[in-house]
Structure 1
């Protein structure tokens, strides 16, 4: 009787008349409502074409084909039937997308699948594999913005607050859903494979586990955090720890998927970018369809910077907004091939041998999506900036001290922002969004090393190590009095 005071009668909760029958799943409920409402696809469709191909290209592929490159070996892109989408104006799309936020109707409770018509319009909702990813927090970084940068309109898009703790969930729900569809169409696919610096393997393993699809993961030995390593292991993936770097893992997975019926899940596969682009659309939604001035994205394999461009560009082309933000791609100085390419005036691209960096997920010297990234930056009047190890770790620590808990990759983006503010490129009143790509809890080892001042040749200016104190009242009081005195009390 706990919780019921004397004289109070507990009322019986009556079942909602709108509640689905007990023997009906949310997938079945969604299908029933779709049928009863007379909803239809309006003929929306998408296909693979060579990246940046002319509109009249004759080379195209169905999304149901297992193909990763064009006949000439170029990257592919998912091209939507924009004429079909343009039959509905910008206000229609705004209202439709806004109406789905925060709902549990399958599959629209997902931040990705709430934009299904712009992502994978032809897939049956019953084939979708989703953890209702997306809809991530857009955080006003008030204190950090004012005290560190002198800005009052700085925002952090926390894409790492997601099912497996990184933005990779946004793309993996699309890719694994398509694989699920292909397997149900009896295509000869045994499983899905990827090379990873940590986050891709975590996302792939979780979504494959949800669908009952085998996942095969190639990881560079001793180059990812323990938190990242345990995720694919826990989700049942077959994990190969290889004595090479990410670029070596990538070469091997390409060779393996060319010989075995294993679907390639890396960002060479353009399906993932269709999910990742929804983060850009979400940012516009969260600003009530107002466009920020700048969006800063950490860059490693470089698919994400193109995904953000694609999301913003679709919104402009379909009349939801009248411009797109300027994009900044932020790289670690120890793995900076795009930065060097940018500084050379976009002369011939040269891969680099990526050095060690605390931003391990972007420790990539030969990025797959280099052409996509250059295209996105040129079309958005974009910039590339870099951050040294000390700069990115200091920026991460300062952000944490202002109430955030970010990953080193977000530290790269914030350190790049500091440089662009100091040089006057980004103004103090510019509305700026920093994309946080992973949860800080995946990188506690680097944070501990920083605050313990264990990193060689790094001052760790914002370290906050614990104080060892004897367990007696006098010792504790002495320490506290000294600390309070430092506050001027």
Structure 2
């Protein structure tokens, strides 16, 4: 009941083909026969939260490789909303997935599909979270994993995850975009299954973020959903999740999709502000947010289409703005996220102040990775612990000093 289809030329491919992009070079999407899909909404809402409660909308027929991903909390954040000056704000914290990022949603589907296709080895290029997630799911599936990382550009917490789960980790003397070119060639020539987000099945898992938001809001649709943008898959994927619920008659509208990048790596934002349908790649992206330090995001066209079609927006924030947002999330709401995740909140603040987002809107910000993904950054931006002697007088003096 599904097939692959090019978003550029409409060329169709069967579900049994190992293919990532169309022969014309266009991106592929998974197309379903929605008339054949039935969802019992009341039953759906009573099921335990997980990616696989939406199985009727996922392209996997066999038993999936799963470690209970999905079902992440949607926090109502009134103190942060007051500070930003907005009526109603929610944080969808994807950092509470098993490996600590939203990537697990894509990997449970992508790795399961790889097994269905008979693939024996898995691979990816990564800025960190993809490698951590693929290594985790590869270990669960009992399949070897190869990871290409840009040398010196990945947070150690993510490298540690790939290593402990047994992946073969290669540190490339180049940036992420160069690593992507290399891993694609390796996979094509050696019959290894590629699990970067250019793989259309990855995004099918990630679209369940949209499904879950609607479930968690009692089938109500927020005015806007704001997402950090790195390789640009999430904006398009989450939007697809919202569109599917509307096609099935569960909801009557979709949110405005808004993508946030950093000023040092913002090809999607630049394209949006020009009204362009595609990006001009950036050769040397640089930002403290290592997870989205990407100059040539492969899903840019899909993301831009989602933004335009939904009436959304794209903006870039400075490293200083995202660090402040990261602190605000932690200190006002108790939510610890890695730097890239905080761009959604920093972007919200910037767009509210610019009058682009209305103060009466209901907004969901997606935070994509856990604080402990990048502890070095936290140490660098925070005050050092106060060292005192081991006696009560010294402790009391330090506690009450200004």
**TM-score under structure 2 length normalisation:** 0.96
Compared CA separation, residues 243 and 143, structure 1 to 2 (3 A): same
Deviation at 1:468, TM superposition (A): 2.8
- Name the residue aligned to 2:254: 324
Which residue of structure 2 lines up, in the alignment, with residue 182 of structure 1? Answer: 117
Aligned to 2:341: 410
Structure 1 gap ranges (5+): 1-44, 103-110, 184-188, 453-464, 484-489
The answer to whether residue 232 in structure 2 is matched with residue 302 in structure 1 is: yes
Q: Is 1:113–2:113 an aligned residue pair?
A: no
State the 1:239 CA deviation. 0.9
| Pairing 1:63–2:12 present | no
Question: Does the CA-based 8 Å contact 1:277-1:309 persist in structure 2?
Answer: yes
Corresponding residue of 1:145 = 81
Q: 8 Å contact 1:193–1:216 — kept in the other structure?
A: yes
Give me the whole-angstrom Cα distance separating, in 2, the residues matched to 1:348 and 1:114. Answer: 34
Deviation per residue, 1:421-455 (Å, 9 max, x gap): 11222223311110010111111110110014xxx
Output the CA distance in 1 between the equivalents of 2:104 and 2:144.
Answer: 17
Which residue does the alignment assign to 1:487?
A: none
Of residues 36, 40, 56, the one that matches 1:84 is: 36
CA RMSD of aligned residues (A): 1.5
Q: Distance in 1 between matches of 2:86 and 2:374?
A: 27
Matching residue of 1:432? 363
CA displacement at 1:279 relative to structure 2: 0.7
The alpha carbon displacement at 1:399 in A equals 1.5
Residues in 2 aligned to 1:151 and 1:284: alpha-carbon distance in whole angstroms: 20
Which residue of the other structure, out of 20, 41, 46, is the alignment partner of 1:94?
41
1:225 matches 2:163:
no
Stretches of 4+ aligned residues off by more than 6 angstroms = none
Aligned residues: 401
Q: Distance in 1 between matches of 2:206 and 2:17?
A: 21
> Following the alignment from structure 1 to structure 2, what is the Cα–Cα distance between the partners of residues 161 and 52?
35
Q: Once the 2 structures are TM-superposed, how far is the Cα of residue 62 of structure 1 from its aligned partner? A: 1.8
Which has the greater radius of gyration?
A: 1
Q: What is the deviation of 1:73? A: 1.6
Indicate whether 1:161 and 2:96 are aligned: yes
Please state how far the C-alpha of 1:347 moved relative to its aligned partner.
6.5
Please name the residue that 1:444 is paired with.
Answer: 375
1:51 maps to what in 2?
Answer: 7
SS in structure 1 at match of 2:202: helix
Q: Distance in 2 between matches of 1:160 and 1:392?
A: 17
Q: Does 1:241 align with 2:190?
A: no
**8 A contact 2:278–2:301 mirrored in 1:** no
Matching residue of 2:394: 475
Unaligned runs of 5+ in 2: none
Q: Which has the higher contact order (CA 8 A, sep 6+)?
A: 2
